[in-house]
Amino acid sequence: MVWLTDAHIHLSDNEYLSDLPYILTAMDRLKIKACCVSMDNQTSKASLDLGERSPLVLPFIGIHPEKASDDLDFMMDMIKQNSGKISGIGEIGLDKTYVSDEAGFSRQVFVFKELLSLAEKLGKPVSIHSRKTLDEIFSILPSYSIKGVLLHWFSGSKKQLQQAMDLGCYVSYGPAMVYAEDKQVLLSLTSQDKILVETDGPVRFSRCFGQKTAQVTFLPSVLFCAAYVLNKPYDEMLSITEKNTSSYLGV
């Protein structure tokens, strides 16, 4: 049985709390697994709990750049103590829109580097937030030896996409690709063995999704769109993304 995997979704977000029994049932029925990424120490604990609750939930824990002021030492200890239970480290990264001065961005860089170093030491993949900071991230990544690096919701230029491919990064595409031509163009230029799919819930998507909170059940639509753009049968696209997911996760 080939499973479809959501490479990046915040199932530990409170938005999903009341619906989790239904979400987990839908994941089982649709044969979908999910890389459950976290924002901070609190949501990381919730992600670990979800991983204990269902084998379909693959916990990623870490500090998002928006939460860079969170207790880093506590996070580092949590990752070390639960290294056998987590599938990866994330969501981590850089984003200048969340800071107002250079000191704030320097803190993001420090947290990002510390978590990359720990991922390297533990042999864990990472899920990276890179909004408008791809150049800075590209300058940092070569200093670390991490086999599974995902630039989630990739939205860079064609040149930056090629840089990502040269660095061996995976990139993921989500619901916006269903209606956004620029995302479809980027997908068509992505190395086949580096493509992953995601929802990034609980982000809300417009157009055909009607501003509804992204659900893991949106994922087959994303995969169908990817198959259409790349002119491949759905089942072949499913096999490609699952092979890539296994490689990304190191399983």
Which pair of tokens denotes residue 9? 């979704």
Mean pLDDT of 135-147: 97
In tens, the pLDDT along 15-43 reads 999 999 999 999 999 999 999 999 999 99
pLDDT at 7 exceeding the cut of 90: yes
pLDDT of residue 81: 98
Q: What is the rounded average pLDDT for all residues in the chain?
A: 97
Whole-model pTM above 0.85?
yes
In tens, the pLDDT along 40-70 reads 999 999 999 999 999 999 999 999 999 999 9
Low-confidence winner among 167-171, 196-200, 203-207 (lowest mean pLDDT): 203-207
Mean pLDDT of 77-84: 98
Percentage of the chain modeled with pLDDT above 90: 98
In tens, the pLDDT along 87-111 reads 999 999 999 999 999 999 999 999 9
Mean pLDDT of 113-133: 98
Domains and CATH numbers, the chain: 4-249 (3.20.20.140)
Per-residue pLDDT band at 1 (split at 50, 70, 90):
confident
pLDDT at 208 exceeding the cut of 90: no
